[in-house]
Amino acid sequence: MSLNEQTVLDALREITLPTGSDLVTADMIRALTIDGETVRFVIEAETPEAAAALEQVRQAAQSRIARLPGVTTVSVVLTAHGPAPAKAPPPDLKIGRHPNPQSGPAKVTGVDRILAVASGKGGVGKSTVSSNLAVALARAGRRVGLLDADIYGPSQPRMMGVSKRPASPDGKTIIPLHAHGVTMMSIGLMVDPDQAIIWRGPMLMGALQQMLGQVEWGELDVLIVDLPPGTGDVQMTLSQKTQLTGALIVSTPQDVALLDARKAIDMFNKLKTPVLGLIENMSMYICPQCGTEAHIFGHGGVRKEAEKLGIPFLGELPLALQVREAGDSGTPIAAGDDDNAKAYANLAARLVAGGMA
Q: Is 242 exposed, middle or buried (0-12, 13-18, 19+ CB in 10 A)?
A: buried
H or E element: which one contains 129? helix 126-139
User: What pLDDT, on a 0 to 100 scale, did the predictor assign at position 84?
Assistant: 47
Q: Stretch 232-260: mean pLDDT, rounded? A: 90
In a domain, 9, yes or no: yes
Q: Stretch 278-288: mean pLDDT, rounded? A: 88
pLDDT digits (tens, 9 = 90+) for 297-319: 888 899 999 999 999 999 999 99
Whether pLDDT at 26 is above 60 = yes
Quote the CA–CA distance of 343 and 37 in Å, as a whole number: 33
How many domains does the chain contain in total?
2
Please name every residue paired with 79 in a beta bridge, in sequence order, or none if there are none: 44
User: What pLDDT, on a 0 to 100 scale, did the predictor assign at position 351?
Assistant: 95
pLDDT digits (tens, 9 = 90+) for 89-147: 444 566 655 556 566 677 899 999 999 999 988 889 999 999 999 999 999 999 999 99
In a domain, 27, yes or no: yes
Residues 254 and 322 in one domain: yes
* C-beta of residue 350 within 8 angstroms of C-beta of residue 315: yes
Closest C-alpha to 142, from 112, 164, 97, 168: 112
Residues 206 and 255 in one domain: yes
Q: Which stretch of 35-44, 45-54, 221-230 has the lowest confidence by average pLDDT? A: 45-54
User: What pLDDT, on a 0 to 100 scale, did the predictor assign at position 101?
Assistant: 57
Residues 24 and 144 in one domain: no
Q: Stretch 74-83: mean pLDDT, rounded? A: 79
* C-beta of residue 187 within 8 angstroms of C-beta of residue 94: no
CATH number for position 153? 3.40.50.300
Q: Specify the DSSP class assigned to residue 253.
A: S
Residues 67 and 141 in one domain: no
Q: Which stretch of 80-84, 121-125, 199-203 has the lowest confidence by average pLDDT? A: 80-84
Angle (CA) 245-143-123 rounded to 5° is 60
Band of residue 32 on the pLDDT scale cut at 50, 70, 90:
confident
Residues 12 and 156 in one domain: no
Residues of the domain holding 147: 111-353
Residues 176 and 275 in one domain: yes
Q: State the amino acid at position 72 in one-letter form.
A: T
CA distances from 201 to 37, 96, 127, 151, 209 (A): 56, 10, 22, 11, 12
In a domain, 22, yes or no: yes
Whether pLDDT at 88 is above 50 = no
pLDDT digits (tens, 9 = 90+) for 157-175: 999 999 888 888 887 889 9
User: What pLDDT, on a 0 to 100 scale, did the predictor assign at position 97?
Assistant: 56
Closest C-alpha to 120, from 274, 259, 298: 259
User: What pLDDT, on a 0 to 100 scale, did the predictor assign at position 226?
Assistant: 95
In a domain, 67, yes or no: yes
According to DSSP, the β-strands at 111-118 and 182-186 are unpaired
Q: Which stretch of 86-95, 207-216, 223-232, 308-317 has the lowest confidence by average pLDDT? A: 86-95
In a domain, 99, yes or no: no
Band of residue 186 on the pLDDT scale cut at 50, 70, 90:
very high
Q: Stretch 5-30: mean pLDDT, rounded? A: 89
Residues 73 and 181 in one domain: no
User: What pLDDT, on a 0 to 100 scale, did the predictor assign at position 198?
Assistant: 65
Quote the CA–CA distance of 117 and 109 in Å, as a whole number: 20
Strand order in the sheet with 29-35: 29-35, 38-45, 73-80
Report long-range pairs for 81-84 (Cβ below 8 Å, ≥24 apart): 81/44, 81/45, 81/46, 81/47, 82/47, 82/48, 83/47, 83/48
**Which residues of 119-179 form beta strands (DSSP E)?**
144-148, 177-179
**C-alpha dihedral sign at 33, 39, 44, 48:** negative
Band of residue 201 on the pLDDT scale cut at 50, 70, 90:
low
User: What pLDDT, on a 0 to 100 scale, did the predictor assign at position 264?
Assistant: 92
208 or 201, higher pLDDT: 208
Q: Chain-wide mean pLDDT for the chain?
A: 87
CA distances from 107 to 13, 51, 74, 168, 177 (A): 36, 42, 44, 22, 21
Residues 33 and 142 in one domain: no
